[in-house]
Amino acid sequence: MKLLIDSGNTRLKWAVLDSGTLIEVAAVAHKNNHDLASLKKQWAKLIQPESIYISCVSGSKSQLKRFLIELWPKSDLKFLQSPCMAHGIENSYPNPVTLGVDRWLAMIAAKHEYTGSLCIVDCGTAITLDCIDAQGLHLGGMILPGWNLMQQALKKGTANLDVSNESYSLGLANNTQAAIFNGSLAAIKGFINAGMISSNQLILTGGDAEFIKKSLQLTAVLDLNLVLKGLALEAI
């Protein structure tokens, strides 16, 4: 049995890989010790993994490593980095390891699952966009603050702007909360449109993917476990 871990900026997603199949997919926040205690309780029910494949883009790599060694001292830990080329994808970054490994794993999973040229948008704390052509060449990408981060930046950086948890009809707004809501969505829509070309198939993943697809009425495939699927490809 192998354990797959996708440690992002806000959440840690994990799954068990057994005989090539993802099972027990789950997620927890990982902002404080209470979150880690909840995670430890869930993982204590598992048998010791043969190996653990990890995508970590948060600042908690050393903490996560200590946590895993304490829980499963005999498991082989594999913290992944983005290579020059693998699984039919050619990395466009001059220094390949500086490409976020979560973006790389999402690309190799998308190439494995879908055909043609693809635009992969991960809607998390940050929104990342990467395009690959039909031959698997990474054409490059873009990064934008995520839905919540965009709104919180306005709240923290200004004196009289506040955000709301309500949803609003898209378009020009007649109140500040709706204006922030719609402005944030418009920025995300423009960001996605800027990365799309006519032959791209749009693939959405990440915690806000369903909300963004519905709000913007996008023609897109939802694949919420792309990074875990990429980890599975590395682990098989």
Interval 176-201: pLDDT, tens: 889 989 999 999 999 999 988 777 89
pLDDT at 164: 75
Show the tokens assigned to 164: 């709301």
DSSP 99-155: S-HHHHHHHHHHHHH--SSEEEEEESSEEEEEEE-TT-BEEEEEEEE-HHHHHHHHH
Listed residue (213, 9, 26) closest to 125, CA to CA: 9
206 within 8 A of 123, measured Cβ to Cβ: yes
Give me the phi and psi of 74, to 5 degrees please.
Answer: -95, -5
In which residue ranges of the chain is pLDDT below 50?
A: none
Domain ranges of the chain: 2-79, 85-233
- Tell me the C-alpha to C-alpha distance, in Å, between residue 14 and each of 3, 36, 85, 123: 7, 13, 25, 17
Measured in degrees and rounded to the nearest 5, phi and psi for residue 152 equal -65, -30
Tell me the CATH number of domain 2-79, given options 3.30.420.40, 1.10.620.20, 1.10.10.10, 2.30.30.40: 3.30.420.40
d(CA 25, CA 226): 12
pLDDT the model gives residue 33: 59
Angle (CA) 142 219 200, round 5°:
50
CA distances from 118 to 82, 121, 199 (A): 19, 10, 8
Q: What is the DSSP string of the chain?
A: -EEEEEE-SSEEEEEEEETTEEEEEEEEE-SSHHHHHHHHHHHTTSPPPSEEEEEE-SS-HHHHHHHHHHH-TTSEEEE----SEETTEE---SSGGGS-HHHHHHHHHHHHH--SSEEEEEESSEEEEEEE-TT-BEEEEEEEE-HHHHHHHHHHH-SS----S----SSS-SSHHHHHHHHHHHHHHHHHHHH--TTPEEEEESTTHHHHHHHHT---EE-TTHHHHHHHHHH-
Residues carrying an active site annotation:
102
CATH number of 85-233: 3.30.420.40
- One fold for 2-79 and 85-233: yes
